[in-house]
Amino acid sequence: MINLYYAKIGNYWFAVALENEKVVATAFSQSKEQVLKRLLKNVPYDAPFQLGEKQTSLAKETLSALKAIFEGKDIQQKYNLEMKYLPPYQGKVLRRLLYVPVGYVTTYGALAKVCGGSPRAVGQAMARNPMPLLIPCHRVVRSDMSIGGFGYGVKVKWEILRREDRGYKKPSKLEVNGKNLILYPVKYVKAPSLEDE
């Protein structure tokens, strides 16, 4: 059984779905109704779920971590993410994305080189990310360093990235399964334009 938890922390609502001490889905929003709607969209359609009666310690910890990531903080805690509900390619892409650290972004194309497939396929995997913030799909941008898409809106993506800027100046490489994933400092990302909205 998947248990759903949500809480208002500061000005935002954060939500998590847990199954057997594993994170299945997350969501955030400015309204309670919207956060529940987003969370339910991320919960596997054929899995039984219920609202958790009382927040578990893992639920509280995860909700706090979501807020911390949203605020641009670097969390050290690693979460047990339930990937069994994801198609194999999407799971592969999202697992590789976990390597992108705070302060950096990568591109759809760079991620495709590490995972196989095309930049478009990577973009589709990002668009269906059931665990936003914990799996940082906001750290993937277009090859020209324009912001790209984001299910919560490009302004929100831009704000999160600005909070994650650590002042890095040079690109970096990270070896992931024998291939180099190119990382770019957040400061390389172009501010969204009116057309991106």
137 in active site: yes
Q: Catalytic one among 27, 97, 102, 137?
A: 137
Nearest alpha carbon to residue 151 among 169, 176, 170, 125: 125
Structure tokens of 157? 């993506």
Amino acid at the residue 104: Y
102, 72 contact by CB (below 8 A): yes
- What single DSSP character describes residue 77? P
Separate counts of helices (H) and strands (E) for the chain: 6, 8
Helix residue spans in the chain (DSSP H): 32-42, 57-70, 88-97, 108-115, 119-127, 154-164
Q: How many whole angstroms from its chain centre is CA 123?
A: 13
Give catalytic residue positions: 137
